[in-house]
Structure 1
């Protein structure tokens, strides 16, 4: 975040939306969803990954080694192909023709010529329309994803690549041409991956199963990992999107059908894509580019000012914010910030705040970044607003309402006169925090977190785009 008023060109379309009730780039949603569900499915915490005892698929693969990564990739692609063999005729009246070539390679070994590219040193997975092929690196990329996020991360990447194949096979019916900007193609492919994962979550996949709690959290974490770097322009050739934007597209697909994904076009992208380049003012302010020192008194003062401004229309008495500890008789202590209903006060643990607000450096451990730290304080401020307006502060509805109201605050920091403003990468920090097991942004007054990271991110996004009015209607409990 930055403390100076700077122009945020990529978010210009958001300014007109903050505080209104118009839905942008989403799907029709009920006003009062069941907070125990994810897009109508029960929140489950069972095993995710390969189904025990499922026989391996039999697909012809070039250059494979028959190892674990190739088996995982083949089973994934077989299931994704089965899904699209059902959906293309049903949704678009187009037959699904299987991808002509499947190619495995080891980026650490001898190169293979695919799509006019030698794969030596290329740790990637990709679809090539020149020969209708999908290729993957079994040597480095797939093992790394599997080790970091589990086998469903590999399925995520390959479902995305099959999404590109679907675009090619749909042609004009998918709204994609050679001239279509990359970001639109990538958003559609992420959305198509969401379509497939809904099918898996419904138990229809032969080879895989996924829980809608921890399982989907890992899928969204994978999309965070493969996001564009902060400061990358959405207009850049090859841009895939920020984590915030990629997760949004996946969620649209999970909640809707493939026609929703095919409808993603330039107008929608212009309205909701948040990815932006760093402004000149986003210089290194002592904590890395675009990050403030979160224990800087001036930064904390600007944060409190932005929170008071964001919620002033409620008429609620703002809570007192202190960096000294305080006992509270009616709520548990939460880190790095706690809200006490009986005293209407927030106590902040500065060392913990600094830990979260210090972004990681290459090869070193760290927290997340300044926005994640400030948003955790904002979440406790949002609880005070809920208390003043008569809402319960405990339970899953309170957690999602808190995430939504925190998103609404974040939306106000895009406005022209704001002293504290969003910087490139800030919303990705929000995604990282929301997917963490102990996310305070989506926790009730006692720190109890909604088990579904999917639901947490969706609630935050609701508030960011549509303002606090939607939060109190949709997550009324």
Structure 2
């Protein structure tokens, strides 16, 4: 029944939940006191709910563009590149010993479905892409298909995301040795750095410094992270493959490092760091299911329950029982769906039909499921509430939501162990990211289903648990 094993050396830290909650009830000598995040903020910025996108009434930038049509997509691209140029003109000297930022020499627009042009030794016919070319120091974008699709699906800040990433590659090229990038540097390192540099730029926008754009740190930033999810590598892609950009879990992490840090932090992304945290993996050759299990089958639920009991056994808490069907619970304000925890009975109740829907993989052109691991994580989040109750933590409020996301991440980390009956497979963590970015994410919700408003904070808490759950981070940081 076991899910397929983690292959290769991409993940070197196998997480245990030993002592997961003990650090809050016992003083441990020499253990640094972590900074407790302000749950009303995102990396120190207030969580805002305002509009994101182009600032009204601001004249368009006037950068020269080759082959442009002057339409909406070209204006959006040019305004982005003008602002990102201003950002790096300020930041490069401040962070890299006075180095000046030389603007990209050529900006090229094309229509992948129209008349083709040759850019960077590539014919643009059918190339729905955006890219930086070091051969002639240019940035090119497809105004015909790619940019409209991003804008229609995720809003204008998704276009800003992609072009900020491409400018990140220009920064690498212009920094040279200071970026740690050479011709032999694996693609995954270059792409993670560029995602991080995009995060730097978005922090600048969120702080109100951009001439053309504004960004709310609530729904606006959530949409940016959703864009990072959309442009992830396909499940099963090797991180060592030429052209690999990273899984959603890894790309969002790099963006968040940039948003919370400075450009020097991004330049520190190197092979050592990548080997320590990249989770991207290939499918096992004998994994005929491609990592997808039937969520509602008894053997799947038994394996999940076994993995959860094993993950939290060191806490000494009595594990909750699983119960099919949602019902009333006298000590909660609202019964959550598709899984719920009732403190008075210590039961996790399950809506198997809805969990099956969430656990399905949507077919092309259809909406619906997120994948089996998203459904399993929702059940795990309700199980994690029972652990919090047993160890004296409140089950309602934003802190409980973040603690739940972190503890769920800690459980996910234990599924990398060979002894776990439920094994992490390629694409599983991306399914978790998709769930965490959903408006009604249960993984980052309290016992009543109140969701932490910031998707950024939800993903960060889950990642904290995944990598550092064995160090008691979930209750020290999110108490």
Give the secondary-structure state (helix, strand or coil) at the position aligned to 1:295.
Answer: coil
Cα separation, 1, equivalents of 2:5 and 2:243 = 27
Which of 145, 149, 171 is equivalent to 1:144? 149
Tell me whether 1:53 sits opposite 2:57 in the alignment.
yes
Please tell me whether residue 391 in structure 1 is matched to residue 390 in structure 2.
no
| Structure-2 residue corresponding to 1:434 | 436
**For the Cα contact (< 8 Å) 1:5–1:418, is it kept in 2?**
no
Pair 1:73 & 2:77 matched: yes
Deviations 1:213-262 (A, max 9, x none): 10010000001001000000000000000000000000000000000000
The alpha carbon displacement at 1:20 in A equals 8.6
Structure 2 residue 118 is the aligned partner of structure 1 residue 113: yes
In structure 2, do the counterparts of structure 1 residues 312 and 437 end up closer, same or farther at CA, with 3 Å as the change threshold? Answer: same
> Could you list the per-position Cα deviations for residues 139-165 of structure 1 after superposition, in whole angstroms to 9, with x for gaps in the alignment?
000000000000000000000000000
Pick the aligned partner of 1:39 from 35, 43, 52.
43
CA drift of 1:417 comes to 1.2
Give the TM-score normalised by the residue count of structure 1.
0.95
In structure 2, what is the equivalent of residue 355 of structure 1?
Answer: 357
Quote the residue 2:320 is aligned against: 319
Counting matched residue pairs gives 465
Alignment partners' CA distance in 1, 2:208 and 2:446: 31
Q: Distance in 2 between matches of 1:334 and 1:460?
A: 20
C-alpha contact 1:73 1:154 (8 A) present in aligned 2: yes
Q: TM-score, normalised by structure 2?
A: 0.95
SS at match of 1:467: helix
1:283: Cα distance to partner? 1.3
CA–CA distance in 2 between the matches of 1:146 and 1:29? 43
1:248 is matched with 253
The Cα shift of 1:324 comes to 3.0
Query: Quick check: 1:5–1:416 contact (8 Å CA) kept in 2?
Result: no
Aligned to 1:24: none
- Measure, in 2, the Cα distance between the counterparts of 1:353 and 1:206: 45
The aligned runs of 1:301-450 (5 Å cut-off) are 301-331=302-332, 332-450=334-452
Instruction: Check whether the contact 1:11–1:414 (CA below 8 A) recurs between aligned residues.
Output: no
| Kept in 1: contact 2:296–2:356 (CA 8 A) | yes
In 1, distance between residues paired with 2:397 and 2:105? 51
* Equivalent pair of 1:191/1:249 in contact (CA under 8 Å): yes
Aligned to 2:26: none
Which position in structure 1 is the counterpart of 2:478? 475
Give 3-state SS (helix, strand or coil) of 2:136's partner: coil
Which of residues 156, 167, 171 in structure 2 aligns to 1:166? 171
Determine the C-alpha separation between the residues in 2 that align with 1:16 and 1:221. 26
Asked if the contact 2:281/2:426 (under 8 Å) is kept, the reply is yes
Is this contact kept in 2: 1:5–1:417, CA < 8 A? Answer: no
Partner residue of 1:293? 294
> 1:49–1:151: 8 Å Cα contact kept in structure 2?
yes
Instruction: Give the drift of 1:12.
Output: 4.0
What SS does the corresponding residue of 2:132 show, helix, strand or coil?
strand
Where in structure 2 are there 5+ consecutive unaligned residues? 21-31
Runs of 4+ in 1 over 4 A off after TM superposition: 16-21
When residues 387 and 396 of structure 1 are mapped into structure 2, their CA distance, relative to the original with a 3 A threshold, is: same
CA drift at 1:29: 10
What's the Cα RMSD here?
A: 1.5
